[in-house]
Amino acid sequence: MRRTSIFLDPDVVAAAQRELGTATAAEAVRIALEQVVERGRRPRRWSDLPPLELTREDLRKMRGDLPDDPS
């Protein structure tokens, strides 16, 4: 880890600390940065997700309430 000096708005830091439940500004900044990185790793749209391949039998097992296939 390295030490860095940055200028931060004290009101914004205090609000972030309250929201995140942190005791220090450094902890609030660390958690906020980690959350931004994690958010960037998540798919941004439903179309970015891999296809969900479920059969009718899978649905029956999961829900337990679908009628038998009429065909």
Report pLDDT digits (tens) over 14-44. Answer: 999 999 999 999 999 999 999 999 988 887 7
Q: Amino acid letter at 18?
A: R
Residue percentage of the chain with pLDDT more than 70: 92
Instruction: Mean pLDDT check: name the lowest of 3-12, 24-33, 51-60.
Output: 51-60
On whether the pTM is more than 0.85, the answer is no
Residue with more model confidence, 45 or 4:
4
Q: How many degrees, rounded to 5, is the angle at CA 29 between CA 28 and CA 35? A: 90
